[in-house]
Structure 1
Amino acid sequence: MISVALVGNPNTGKTSLFNALTRSYEYVGNWAGVTVEKKVGVLLDKRGELVDLPGVYSLSPLSKDEAVTTEYMLQSAPDVVLNVVDASQIERNLHLTLQLAEYGHPLVIALNMTDVAEGRGLKIDPARLSALLGATVVPVIARTEKGCVELLQEIVQPGAHPTPAKVDYGPLLEAAIAKLEARIPEQPRAGRWLALQFLEGNETVAEWLKTLFPAEWLERFYRTTESDIAAQTNCRGLPQYIRERRAERIKDILEACCQRTRTESSSLSEKLDALATHRWLGIPIFLLFMYLTFKLTFDWFGTPISDRLDALLSGPVSTGLARLLQQLGAADFIQAVVLNGIVAGVGGVLVFVPQIFMLFLIISFIEDSGYMARIATVMDKLMEGAGLNGKTFIPMIIGFGCNVPGIMAARTIEQPRERLLTILLTPLMSCSARLSVYSLFVGVFFQSHKAIIVFSLYVLGVVVALALAKLFSRTLARNEASMFVVELPPYRIPQWKTLARSTWEKGKGFVRKAGTFIFGGSVLIWLLSYTGIRGWNVPIDQSFMRAIGSGVAPILEPLGFGNWQAGAALITGFLAKEVVVSTMGIIYATSSEASLQQTLGLFFTPLQAYSFMVFILLYVPCLATVGVIRKETNSAKWTWFSVGYALIVAYLLALLIYRVGLLLGFH
């Protein structure tokens, strides 16, 4: 099998093309840095594997995820490099293309979004472009898979690829390139590419070359070359000189193969951006969009379906299982495990699947429509006041779905300080797992105000994150310049096929967790509720679960929910926030014949319920999130800090809300 490296700028449709060529599905989003590590798929004809690398503007990495691409090019030797080029932004994209041509391996160009380019009055001659670049060029529209069959045929043709063209960098630099190239041992990758990347300032390549040459010799060689170039040009450094020579070559290429059929007028994207990124209206529009999201999730769509699903599980399903177990002669113990453990625990979580999927559908719409980058732009000023920048808000938005990919998306942030702060603060974003807890409580205590209550919790998470960002940026990590560069892709009408697939990919983890992790957890929780010091089948007040919950109940008393049931649910919630719901379902199903919703009304008041939800929002991250924090920070200190500070903030804020609420006469 041949190896094909898929490389391109962010927002060029690279991951969509990966899906089309492999029939597999990877996470697709419409913002810079959606792919944060390489992914591998098998081509449709089974003749090769396709490696999807993070989107980069240059092979000189600025962020952690961009370094993945350069490291892959250094350590691997792909048979073909497949470069995705956005035809509507061809001038900017060709800077990376020329760097890939210097790599020396066969180059195939997927000229994507040709329909967008033609809509903007830009016509490109693929044959002429192919001749000038020394690469096979195939026009495609990745979103509709047009041209993908032809592209696949070109990729796998052995020995049919032309030799990539070289850029002439002038006598002085060409001599320096040749000198360094001659000293580099025979390698799978091109010595010319290594020399150019080193002279362009690629630190990853420089570190690799230091394994071949003394660092002092490399530094002296670089300074001498830079001095020689500066003496004959006005360029400030080698990287600028190399970029300018490439820009000149790109200009010549575009003049030869591109034709402007009409002058582009103000596009629809620009007109929409006048509102979406407006200085004063941008944030209110975003907040309104989020509020409508929760209205749709709770009032207009999600909750009605959840109610029907709950009625199905608690009625016909439970009754049918009870009859079946009785007919099979199952022991009372087995019946209790199935009905009070599995059905009450797992079923209590599954009833919220419609709301979870509705939220994921809207998040997928935000990503695929192009609005995600606009949110980062309008939030930049606010984030700057907190010591961060707008790009750090993108992982936080992803965290609304799940904190784990949100934290991983922080790899796209260039500055180590901002990357660390984003990792620490993203767990404060209310993930879909917490949504199941909110759904349970607002359905009981806030029937008439479900959307606004949940909306307030999401906003509270953001506000707390911004306040802590300001504090942490002044104490934990200071004196580092911020950088905000994010591309605004054109608005697109998302395809239902793409939305459905993206929503399922996000939501299936919730369903899978319910069928595995929560299933096992529910059985364990039920056993702890069923057994105690005196043996098994004990009253729940004498169970191990009661003992566990009672240990923390006094600490929670000032917050308004100092009962052992709440304490036990919070402890098990560390494993996964959905387990809070399954724990309550099991505990209350065991202790009462009433429904979970009816029983909650006996243990909580609306004020206590809101205090409990605030605590759930902010207290310790789940086990999976803690694991990814440890992996991304590579530090036990920061991992423990993330757990400790979140617990303290949750306690103080829940205490403040409950006590102020009592003073104001709420109950």
Structure 2
Amino acid sequence: LTAYSVDELIARNFIVEEKPDVVVCIVSAINLERSLYLALSLLELGANVVIDLNMVDLAEKEGYKIDYKKLEFLIGVPVVPTVATTGRGIGKLKEAIVKAIHEKKVQARIVDYGRIVEEAISKIEEVIKDLAPELAEKYPARWIALKLLEGDSDIVGKVSKLPAGKEIIDKANQLREILGKKIGDPESYIVKQKYERVLEIVKAVVERVAVPRVSMTDLLDSILTHKIVGIPLALSAIYLLFRFAFEVSVPLADLVDVAINSYLHDIVLGIHGLPDWLTSFLADGVIAGVGAVLVFLPVIAFFFLGFAILEDVGYMARVAFLVDKVFHKFNLPGKAVIPLIIGFGCNVPGVMAARAIEDENERKTTALIAPLASCNARLPVYLVIGGAVLGASAGFAVLSLYVLGIILALIVGLLLRKTLFKGASSGFIMELPPYMMPRFDNVAIKTWERTKRFLFKAGTVIFLGTVIVWLLSVTGPEGYLGPEALEDPQLLRESWAGILGQLLASTVFSLMGWDWRAAVALFFGFVAKEIVVSSMAILYGVGEEKIVDVIAERHVFTPLTAYAYMAFVLIYVPCIATLAMVRNELGLKYAILALIYEVLLAYIVSLSIISIGSVLGFR
């Protein structure tokens, strides 16, 4: 548990400082060597550990027999074999956890580092107990001694703040120097000794009882991770995911559309005695705005369903593996793949996932490019514009936007690494999980949790956004214009929304050829991308009609300007929440940098699409 990245540091600090009653360490039965290293580190930390030996069924299929009772004896803590996908052993695991809470077994000295290192550890322990007893009470003294010998920057920083900190660190550095002359780098030696202990344990408890034939995982990986056909196959899989989401969801989307834009809308209009402004607010504001987004709920849900299946099968890990080499060509760390993939769901956790990157410059670069991954909030905009203007080509257009986002992330990342955050890219060691049949409950939970977040957003951020758009559409410099403004184009132009939209269309977006309503929708989209659709629904006075039909019938976009508009939505600031997360992770100046570069890049790319497309004869 030497913390190299922010997320590792958070996890370690929680275990050390909060002292949980029990820590369940999930150990992979098919990769015991790697997993046991963490288990031994937890034991050295003084944690009360229960080992969950997971995936024993896969180990058995590969011809391995693990003597878990012997493993339990060697490391001195409970070991429970389980199969998480079927629930096998979960009951016994729960029993072991309860028992461990009441019968703590702490094995602080699970690894013997040899006479020379052990003597150094003992000397530092004595100094800690003599000069900083409060530190020894809070942390295991042996563990602190180990971390000081390793040169752990976080622990060195904590110790240096103590009254006797300098004396303790000087003693540790003196011993580090002595050890360096005898065994080489102390940190490397300690890691090596720990791995040797792991291998001793594995050799003692694992027996190969059968040699299986070439596994299905190996056969599939020889094709799906192939250096030539792997990426085209990945793009095909993502395209099929979009087609699946679009085609399967159509009947449900139509039902939601009828329920919201017909029945619910008519019910509100049929309520007698309501003031005109309240009727307009409910029908033209809330129902038209929020309803325009909720119509795409089935598409979003089926997209999440397909994505969850690909995750459960184990394919998304292969996608990360495939693009790793590409990222290195752009001087980006392999770990940057993960935040971008997470960003396809939502950019906020995508930015947060950059914490896993050890190097500070690489972490900052990744956090700044993560918002370029096309999140699900942009999807309703693509569906509305693409469905209205691009017809049968909409699916390819949407896929190309996802690819464009990754390409731009690579280019921006390279520029950042050449200017602000210089340095060579670090490696990325990834363990590819075996292919597995997706579990219904796993897929269902993931789909529901992600869809629920979308619904929550519709009921909070999007609702508030539509209220603001409606209010700005029925008021202006002359005061309250009334709901008539939503039906009278000339009157709507005199509203605050109309004035702002015309200003944007005639200045900032004058070269784009976008209608002023579309221009002002982008302004409101700073809050959340779904509000772009809600704003259009209100400003175009959708009523009972579908927003897609309105855009198509009024020829709001040409295919070229529509694609440029979608590209702008892809690139400029995803939402206020993402900017807030960048500020939280990197600081205010980097949040401002993200805001400026994303808006400028969106403008340049969209204008380039229109200019180059026009030269090539597209319209």
Q: After TM superposition, is the score higher than 0.5?
A: yes
Match of 1:93 among 10, 32, 35: 35
Q: Which residue of 2 aligns with 1:439?
A: 383
Match of 1:618 among 560, 566, 571: 571
How far apart are residue 594 of structure 1 and its match?
A: 5.9
Match of 2:159 among 194, 206, 209: 209
Q: Which residue of 1 aligns with 2:103?
A: 160
* 1:244–1:430 CA distance, 2 compared to 1 (3 A): closer
How far apart are residue 526 of structure 1 and its match?
A: 1.0
CA contact (8 A) 1:559 1:608 kept: no
- The alignment's TM-score, normalised by the length of structure 1, stands at 0.86
User: Does residue 599 of structure 1 match 2:550?
Assistant: yes
How far apart are residue 481 of structure 1 and its match?
A: 4.4
CA contact (8 A) 1:194 1:205 kept: yes
How far apart are residue 252 of structure 1 and its match?
A: 3.1
Q: Which residues of structure 1 form unaligned runs of 5+?
A: 1-58
User: Does residue 189 of structure 1 match 2:147?
Assistant: no
* 1:658–1:496 CA distance, 2 compared to 1 (3 A): same
Q: Give, in whole Å, the separation in 2 of the partners of 1:230 and 1:116.
A: 45
CA contact (8 A) 1:141 1:147 kept: yes
Q: Which residue of 1 aligns with 2:527?
A: 575
Q: Give, in whole Å, the separation in 1 of the partners of 2:544 and 2:297.
A: 25
* 1:290–1:595 CA distance, 2 compared to 1 (3 A): closer
Residue 139 of structure 2 aligns with an amino acid whose one-letter code is R
Match of 2:518 among 540, 547, 566: 566
User: Does residue 409 of structure 1 match 2:359?
Assistant: no
Q: Give, in whole Å, the separation in 2 of the partners of 1:664 and 1:362.
A: 36
* 1:99–1:555 CA distance, 2 compared to 1 (3 A): same
Q: Which residue of 1 aligns with 2:602?
A: 650
Residue 371 of structure 2 aligns with an amino acid whose one-letter code is P
Q: Which residues of structure 2 form unaligned runs of 5+?
A: 486-490
* 1:484–1:297 CA distance, 2 compared to 1 (3 A): same
* 1:89–1:597 CA distance, 2 compared to 1 (3 A): closer
* 1:159–1:614 CA distance, 2 compared to 1 (3 A): closer
Q: Deviations over 1:336-355 (max 9, x none)?
A: 11111111001000001111
SS of the equivalent of 1:446 reads: helix
Q: Give, in whole Å, the separation in 1 of the partners of 2:252 and 2:22.
A: 49
User: Does residue 629 of structure 1 match 2:582?
Assistant: yes
Match of 1:73 among 15, 25, 32: 15
* 1:483–1:583 CA distance, 2 compared to 1 (3 A): same
Match of 1:118 among 60, 80, 94: 60
- Aligned counterparts, 1:185-334, within 5 A: 185=133, 186-212=136-162, 213-215=164-166, 217-225=168-176, 227-228=178-179, 230-231=181-182, 235-298=183-246, 300-323=247-270, 325-326=271-272, 329-334=273-278
Q: Deviations over 1:262-302 (max 9, x none)?
A: 1244322222211122111121111111111222222x223
* 1:161–1:449 CA distance, 2 compared to 1 (3 A): same
Q: Give, in whole Å, the separation in 2 of the partners of 1:162 and 1:542.
A: 74
* 1:470–1:441 CA distance, 2 compared to 1 (3 A): same
Residue 116 of structure 1 aligns with an amino acid whose one-letter code is L
* 1:321–1:180 CA distance, 2 compared to 1 (3 A): same
User: Does residue 377 of structure 1 match 2:321?
Assistant: yes
Q: Give, in whole Å, the separation in 1 of the partners of 2:593 and 2:371.
A: 12
Same amino acid, percent of matched pairs: 39
Q: Give, in whole Å, the separation in 2 of the partners of 1:535 and 1:240.
A: 73
Q: CA RMSD in A?
A: 2.1
* 1:564–1:221 CA distance, 2 compared to 1 (3 A): same
SS of the equivalent of 2:234 reads: helix
* 1:296–1:555 CA distance, 2 compared to 1 (3 A): farther
CA contact (8 A) 1:561 1:612 kept: no
User: Larger % of helix: which?
Assistant: 2
Residue 199 of structure 1 aligns with an amino acid whose one-letter code is L
Residue 284 of structure 1 aligns with an amino acid whose one-letter code is P
Q: Deviations over 1:298-320 (max 9, x none)?
A: 2x223443233223322223223
Q: Give, in whole Å, the separation in 2 of the partners of 1:440 and 1:633.
A: 34
Residue 514 of structure 1 aligns with an amino acid whose one-letter code is A
* 1:422–1:181 CA distance, 2 compared to 1 (3 A): same
User: Does residue 541 of structure 1 match 2:493?
Assistant: yes
Q: Deviations over 1:105-155 (max 9, x none)?
A: 432211111112112111122222111111111222223332222222222
Match of 2:75 among 133, 153, 166: 133
User: Does residue 421 of structure 1 match 2:372?
Assistant: no
In terms of mean alpha carbon deviation, does 492-501 or 462-471 score higher?
Answer: 462-471
Q: Which residue of 2 aligns with 1:42?
A: none
CA contact (8 A) 1:111 1:139 kept: yes
CA contact (8 A) 2:333 2:425 kept: no
CA contact (8 A) 2:124 2:168 kept: no
Aligned residue pairs total 600
Q: Give, in whole Å, the separation in 2 of the partners of 1:534 and 1:229.
A: 80
Q: Give, in whole Å, the separation in 1 of the partners of 2:519 and 2:37.
A: 58
Q: Give, in whole Å, the separation in 2 of the partners of 1:311 and 1:202.
A: 61
* 1:207–1:264 CA distance, 2 compared to 1 (3 A): farther
Q: Give, in whole Å, the separation in 2 of the partners of 1:568 and 1:211.
A: 53
Q: Deviations over 1:543-598 (max 9, x none)?
A: 111112122111344443343212220110001000010011011117x8865334
* 1:612–1:178 CA distance, 2 compared to 1 (3 A): same
